[in-house]
Amino acid sequence: MTDNPNPTAKASGRIGPPFWLLAELTYRCPLQCPYCSNPLDFDNTRQELTTDEWVRVLRQGREMGAAQLGFSGGEPLVRQDLAELIAEARHLGYYSNLITSGLGLTEAKVQSFQNAGLDHIQVSFQASDPELNNAVAGSRKAFEQKLAMARAVKDAGYPMVLNFVIHRHNIHQMNDIIELCDRLDADYVELATCQYYGWAFKNREGLMPSREQLVKAEAEVNACRERLAAAGSLMKLIFVTPDYYEERPKACMNGWGSLFLTVAPDGTALPCHSARLLPIDFPNVRESGLSSIWYDSAGFNYYRGDSWMPEPCRSCDEKGKDFGGCRCQAYLLTGNADNADPVCSKSPHHDRILAARRAADHATTGLEDLTYRNPENSRLFFRG
Ligand code: FES
């Protein structure tokens, strides 16, 4: 699929600039989370962009009008040039956000990132207790390190922003997680149920909570919100439900090639962090400028607008709201990214979602049965 099937989107001239630039600096990571959104074959990706190449990408993005910049990975802290890239981002006028596991962070690094002009840090946790946290992360010291770094971030004057990925093995911990966050004096807590891409799709059966678990968790979060508000806490709890339990799909990325531009560690430019799994040729920032990638490349025009849509999306009166849902999810679940996202109850493939829900009701998979995200397992995928 290399030809642009969607020339009308390109020719329409109605495409605005990217607002969000996500710089996936590396796929290297000290942790092994079985729900990582990185590609299964990440270890096959060599040759990360150099510092100079990233600086060029940041400059081109800002010239186009991008305002928000995320540094993620893998674990972005393994890049020795992170402070330099942060300084460049500040110089260019981005609002920059570091998305980190906290592993490899030190108080001195927090200070140096702050001096370089970093605006925001988000630290991820795996659970409310060291045993489960470290088992999921695949690291014996992860929990203590995360606690220390969450405190260091706050001590430096940043808001404490914590992220917990929620799945069937930690969803019973809602009260404990929120209590931990309250003790840490967190400002924002994202309780994000797993999205099934990358390693999470591979492990979906072992990760997806049952509806019963989900309903209970949401009620606990709501009760905690009330308790916290009554106690005068300003901590914000954001509970993100999995779209597998919805009847309409999410407006993924706010529409393909509309606001988000991701650059993968090797320079591949993508409309979302998962799109490299699609059978589409995506451009590389080593070969083309960001502006021509965004406006002119076949990959970014592929699903712009709605002329690509087959039924039932084509005649649906909600297509302007959800844009047919998620292309990566359609591909993962039906083998064809053109299809309506099977989350939609109007999709002829909605039975795949119903089957996943039924499987979640009866799953017995333990943590030991999951496939962990590490170079060894990654090599198994691309070597076959
Ligand atoms: Fe790729 Fe939704 S994650 S389009």
Which residue out of 252, 258, 323 has the highest number of ligand 1 atoms within 8 Å of its CB and is therefore the one to mutate?
252
Whether residues 78 and 164 share a domain: the answer is yes
Q: What is the pLDDT of residue 11?
A: 44
236 - beta bridge partners? 188
- Residue at 5 is within a domain: no
Whether residues 215 and 324 share a domain: the answer is no
What is the rounded CA–CA span in Å between residue 375 and residue 42? 8
**Is the separation of the CB atoms in 210 and 187 below 8 Å?**
no
Q: What is the pLDDT of residue 46?
A: 75
Q: What is the pLDDT of residue 2?
A: 41
**Is the separation of the CB atoms in 359 and 207 below 8 Å?**
no
**Is the separation of the CB atoms in 343 and 246 below 8 Å?**
yes
Final residue belonging to a domain, choices 220, 245, 270: 245
Neighbours of 57 (CB within 10 A): 23
Whether residues 272 and 215 share a domain: the answer is no
- Residue at 277 is within a domain: yes
Which residue out of 270, 272, 280, 313 has the highest number of ligand 1 atoms within 8 Å of its CB and is therefore the one to mutate?
272
Residue 114 is encoded by which pair of tokens? 């702050």
Q: What is the pLDDT of residue 321?
A: 95
Whether residues 114 and 257 share a domain: the answer is no
Whether residues 82 and 212 share a domain: the answer is yes
Task: Return left, alpha or beta for 325; rule: phi > 0 is left, psi -120 to 50 is alpha, else beta.
Answer: left
Whether residues 31 and 149 share a domain: the answer is yes
Which residue's CA lies nearest to atom 1 of ligand 1? 328
Whether residues 146 and 269 share a domain: the answer is no
Query: Which residues form ligand 1's pocket by a CB distance below 6 Å?
Result: 197, 252-253, 272, 274-275, 326-328
Ligand 1: centre distance to CA 42 (Å): 18
What is the rounded CA–CA span in Å between residue 318 and residue 303? 16
**Is the separation of the CB atoms in 66 and 19 below 8 Å?**
yes
What CATH number does the domain containing 108 carry? 3.20.20.70
Structural domain of 143: 20-245
Q: Shortest CA distance to 83 belongs to which of 25, 142, 38?
A: 25
- Residue at 378 is within a domain: no
Q: What is the pLDDT of residue 1?
A: 46
190 - beta bridge partners? 163, 238
pLDDT < 70 stretches in the chain: 1-13
Ligand 1: centre distance to CA 253 (Å): 7
Ligand 1 nearest-atom number relative to CA 327:
4
Which residue out of 37, 270, 300, 328 has the highest number of ligand 1 atoms within 8 Å of its CB and is therefore the one to mutate?
328
- Residue at 332 is within a domain: yes
Ligand 1: centre distance to CA 254 (Å): 10
Residue 199 is encoded by which pair of tokens? 């390693």
Final residue belonging to a domain, choices 206, 226, 245: 245
pTM for this structure?
0.94
Residue 131 is encoded by which pair of tokens? 């045993």
Ligand 1 nearest-atom number relative to CA 197:
3
Sign of CA dihedral 382, 2, 26, 97: negative
Q: What is the pLDDT of residue 9?
A: 52
DSSP assignment, residue 52? H
Which residue's CA lies nearest to atom 2 of ligand 1? 326
- Residue at 202 is within a domain: yes
Ligand 1: centre distance to CA 348 (Å): 19
Whether residues 283 and 324 share a domain: the answer is yes
Number of domains present in the structure of the chain: 2
Binding-site residues for [4Fe-4S] cluster, in ranges, read 29, 33, 36
Whether residues 114 and 160 share a domain: the answer is yes
**Is the separation of the CB atoms in 367 and 169 below 8 Å?**
yes
The owner of tokens 């502006």 is 291
Question: 288 burial class (0-12, 13-18, 19+ CB within 10 angstroms)?
Answer: middle
Query: Please, which residues have CB within 8 angstroms of residue 315's CB and are 6 or more apart in sequence?
Result: none
Q: What is the pLDDT of residue 79?
A: 97
Whether residues 206 and 262 share a domain: the answer is no
Amino acid at 233: S
- Residue at 95 is within a domain: yes
Ligand 1: centre distance to CA 69 (Å): 19
What is the rounded CA–CA span in Å between residue 265 and residue 75? 11
- Residue at 8 is within a domain: no
Whether residues 112 and 216 share a domain: the answer is yes
Final residue belonging to a domain, choices 245, 276, 291: 245
What is the rounded CA–CA span in Å between residue 173 and residue 220? 10
What is the rounded CA–CA span in Å between residue 93 and residue 258? 21
What is the rounded CA–CA span in Å between residue 297 and residue 10? 9
Q: What confidence tens digit (pLDDT) does each residue in 327-362 have?
A: 999 999 999 999 999 999 999 999 999 999 999 999
- Residue at 136 is within a domain: yes
What is the rounded CA–CA span in Å between residue 26 and residue 40? 14
Query: Please, which residues have CB within 8 angstroms of residue 167's CB and are 6 or more apart in sequence?
Result: 35, 193, 194, 207, 208, 209
Whether residues 174 and 278 share a domain: the answer is no
